[in-house]
Amino acid sequence: MSDRILIAEDNKNLCRILESALSEAGYEVAVALGGDAAVHEIKSHPFDLVISDMRMPGASGSVVFQEARAQEYQPDVILMTAFGDTREAVRLMRDGAADYILKDFDPEELVTRVGQVLERRRLKQESTLLKNRIETLKEQVPLHQFDMIVGQSRAMRDALGLAERVARTDANVLLLGESGTGKEVFAQAIHAASKRAEAPFVPVNCGALPETLLESELFGHERGAFTGAIRTKPGRFEFAEGGTVFLDEIAEVPQSVQVKLLRVLQDRTYVRVGGEEMRRADVRVIAATNRNLDEMIHNGRFREDLYYRLNVFPIRLVPLRERREDIAELVDFFLRQQERSVNDIAPEALEHLRNYEFPGNIRELQNLIERACILAGTGPIERRHFPIGKTRLTADPGDLLSLGLSLDQIEKRLIREALERAQGNKTKAASLLGISRRALYSRMESHGIPIGGAEADPVE
């Protein structure tokens, strides 16, 4: 649907010229000959833009502007003015007019100005829509608060203490830990306890986006920046204005994008893909990774200067197997989410969970509880409802070496084992292996394992 424009002008010849130029540009155009007619049209029909002469018989351009701003649909207004009326036009711009143009303009110049005003209008509408969606989501699924994080172990108390301290500042935070240890939950809690809590919390899974899309997703793109970019699109940094951007799996960011992230962290500026305008980013950055960034720096795969900008305040979240004293409390928490009680689980089942290695950490425990509740129905939750044991993923490496397997063969078996345990779900399999989904795809391809599913295991 094309944008609707109203031209308010008492000069019939000028109206015909402007109507022709704007119609050829693809806009739906209506004409009002004079100010009174313009006021009537504005009250009767919704417009995206009103282009009004400042001096007309009947209502002046100032009156037309005030009437337009009084409408619920809030059209933008461009004022056409003679040289002597520019002071009034500038005053109206301070009150909300989008632009003004001197009356000796070329029609093509007006078409250009109209395009710029309507593009800003679309971006503002998109930003408002996204913020409304975020607010709705916050009401439906509130961000985690510190008092919602479960765990009384020394490791968890230490991590919470650090997070509560840094939340009151605007420092960048780097959350370190295996997949499933609760890094996004911590990021949400830091945001919720910060002075930016009323602004958006915008997560970005850097490992889930291909390199060609990640830059555009973070910084936005201009129309025509690449094939398929049919309109300008704001990025996550723009949507998070005043709030927090959470960069999950930061280690998966390609070096071409690392350079641009470094600029955001250094001077809080960025440029959209295909654009030239330098934009400001009033955001806090929280990043997370399950990878060894020091090793990646040593191998030339992660920029050292970016690491130092991100690593202002590191917080390490230990795996669940290193804080087993929290398992019972977590089980109780997840059972209550399923409208069950810790009294519903058999003591031997709980002890079985306490002794399990949990390669998928808290996320795996949550999934196991949900599955067990389904299997148990309304009856007691027993050990048989948790089909877990000593997994080959955490077996003694000597068991594999004794079979005479090479490192590549061992990795291939581990990947197949993870895919089998995750029932083909690549995200869960990557979590079990402690790598990103993108890295899993790459390794599956290198081992000849079809992306669509694990192949039958041949005789090695």
CATH assignment at residue 408: 1.10.10.60
pLDDT at 458 over 50: no
Whether residues 286 and 409 fall in one domain: no
State the chain's maximal CA–CA distance in angstroms.
97
Q: How far apart are CA 321 and CA 29, in angstroms?
A: 67
Residue 254 belongs to some domain of the structure: yes
CATH code, domain carrying 348: 1.10.8.60
CATH code, domain carrying 115: 3.40.50.2300
In degrees and rounded to multiples of 5, residue 4 shows phi and psi of -100, 130
Whether residues 215 and 261 fall in one domain: yes
- Among 359, 389, 419, give the residue marking a domain's end: 389
Which has the minimum average pLDDT: 21-30, 101-110, 179-188, 398-407? 398-407
**Residues 69-111 pLDDT 10s:** 999 888 999 999 876 667 888 888 888 999 999 888 888 889 9
Q: Looking at the 3D structure of the chain, how many domains does it have?
A: 4
Whether residues 341 and 288 fall in one domain: no
**Residues 129-150 pLDDT 10s:** 666 665 655 554 456 688 889 9
Specify the pLDDT at position 418: 84
Residue 114 belongs to some domain of the structure: yes
Identify the burial level of 17 via C-beta atoms within 10 angstroms of its C-beta, where 0-12 means exposed, 13-18 middle and 19 or more buried. middle
Q: How far apart are CA 220 and CA 271, in angstroms?
A: 8
Whether residues 212 and 109 fall in one domain: no
The number of helices, as runs of H, and strands, as runs of E, in the chain is: 19, 12
Residue 260 belongs to some domain of the structure: yes
Q: How far apart are CA 143 and CA 148, in angstroms?
A: 10
- Among 271, 291, 316, give the residue marking a domain's end: 316
Q: What DSSP letter does each residue of 332-352 carry, written as one string?
A: HHHHHHTT--GGGB-HHHHHH
In degrees and rounded to multiples of 5, residue 270 shows phi and psi of -160, 165
Q: How far apart are CA 179 and CA 151, in angstroms?
A: 17
Whether residues 100 and 193 fall in one domain: no
Residue 456 belongs to some domain of the structure: no
Residue 285 belongs to some domain of the structure: yes
3-state SS record for 108-155: HHHHHHHHHHHHHHHHHHHHHHHHHHHHHHHHHCCCCCHHHCCCCCHH
Whether residues 415 and 307 fall in one domain: no
Whether residues 341 and 362 fall in one domain: yes
Whether residues 303 and 358 fall in one domain: no
Q: Which residues fall within 8 angstroms of residue 94, CB to CB, at 6 or more apart?
A: none
Whether residues 228 and 328 fall in one domain: no
- Among 284, 316, 348, give the residue marking a domain's end: 316
Provide the β-strand partners of residue 284: 244
Residue 380 belongs to some domain of the structure: yes
Residue 133 belongs to some domain of the structure: no
Range of the domain at 268: 142-316
Whether residues 354 and 242 fall in one domain: no
Whether residues 83 and 187 fall in one domain: no
CATH code, domain carrying 271: 3.40.50.300
Secondary element (H or E) of residue 375: helix 361-376
Residue 136 belongs to some domain of the structure: no
Looking at the chain, the whole-number percentage of residues with pLDDT higher than 70 is 88
Whether residues 178 and 96 fall in one domain: no
**Sheet of strand 244-248, all strands in order from the earlier edge strand to the far edge:** 201-205, 244-248, 284-289, 173-176, 313-316
369-392 burial, b at 16+ Cβ within 10 Å, e below that, comes to beebbeebeeeebebebbeeeeee
Specify the pLDDT at position 452: 64
| pTM as predicted | 0.60
